[in-house]
Copies of this chain bind each other. A is one copy, B any other.
Amino acid sequence: MPHKIAILGASGYTGAELVRIIATHPAMEIVGLSGDRKAGMEMAEVFPHLRHLTLPALEKIEDMDFSGVELAFCALPHATSQAVIRDLPRNLKVVDLSADFRLRDPAEYEKWYGKPHAAVELQKEAVYGLTEFYRDEIRAARLVAGTGCNAATGQYAIRPLIEASVIDLDDIILDLKAGVSGAGRSLKENLLHAELSGGTHPYSAGGTHRHLGEFDQEFSKLADRPVRIQFTPHLMPFNRGILATVYVKGDPQAVHKALADRYAAEVFLEVLPFGALPSTRSVAGSNFVHIGVSGDRIAGRAIVVAALDNLAKGSSGQAIQNANLMLGIEETAGLMLAPVFP
């Protein structure tokens, strides 16, 4: 008997990616799909690539019947998410893909998102969804907060270095290259093909990107002292993939060892041989993360490069991995899809 799940906010890219992965998941069945503005439409009209699937039509959340539903993925926009989740049945497990429950401190939430949190109790309850680092808590959780896709990429590269105390905590620079699907399906001029293709530019530079809230929270907790990194994302003319180039001060071999050791038993994390660096193309369409380490001609400097697919491991794949844990399913179920190249 498959576990019955619902997807709230199924008309965006992370919603579609959830459906794509669950399509071949052995133990989940989609019984409800919401899409506010597109309520009444079939998923095949909104996403023609899913037309071979038998799926419920999109409906409004208020019209959804949650009886029998065990878990809901919530792929709604920030702020909307917290209000919706607050009103869901209490016995429903929830994996939220928005930013609403990532930060534990209400003041931090307000600082980065510009308004007070509307569901502070839930915020406290929520478990941070970086699976490989919160596995036990996630298994026991009712509400899991999916991480930011950039935040996940950066943390996969940096967390083991903090844990292993092999780098200078005061000089971490994360130069990130982000595929455009991370910006979602929203209609913005800079996301048009004519504007975006054929070049690149940085955005949210100088310490203003909201995912810094997650970095601050997680790295400071790990280090048991405040850690502030520099983070400059660049918008890339491709759809899927994030590449994080991290500049740290520390012994490159020690850095590599810390990563290799930490991820030795992890199915989805592949640490490349020392000196080899990854490409986003090698993980696109999959739940895998590739991480490489290089030294520099300057002694004591290391470069860590991590690549993942923002829609999959950075968002919907992670969500399903967490849901698997919450439902007591094999953690990797449905997620062993190989990357698509070329």
Q: Which residues of A contact B (CB under 8 A)?
A: 13, 16, 19-21, 23-24, 47-53, 171, 173, 175, 177, 179-181, 183, 185, 187-189, 191-203, 205-208, 212, 228, 230, 232, 234, 236-241, 243, 245, 247, 267-268, 270, 275, 277-286, 288, 290, 294-298, 301, 303, 305, 307, 311, 336-342
Contacts and interface: CB of A to CB of B under 8 A. Distances in A.
A81 to B, nearest CB: 21
15 contacts: A13-B342, A24-B336, A49-B286, A177-B234, A180-B192, A191-B194, A195-B342, A198-B240, A200-B280, A202-B243, A206-B294, A208-B297, A228-B297, A232-B245, A311-B342
B270 A52 contact: yes
Nearest to A191: B192
A202 B336 CA distance: 26
Given A48-B279, A187-B188, A230-B298, A200 B24 contact: no
A292 to B, nearest CB: 8
Nearest to A295: B206
Contact of A285 (B206, B236, B285, B303): B285
A341 B206 contact: no
A313 to B, nearest CB: 12
B338 A20 contact: yes
Q: Which of A191, A201, A275, A277 has the most CB of B within 10 A?
A: A201
A268 B52 CA distance: 8
B338 A50 contact: yes
A198 B284 contact: yes
Given A192-B191, A290-B48, A236 B200 contact: yes
B281 A198 contact: yes
B24 A281 contact: no
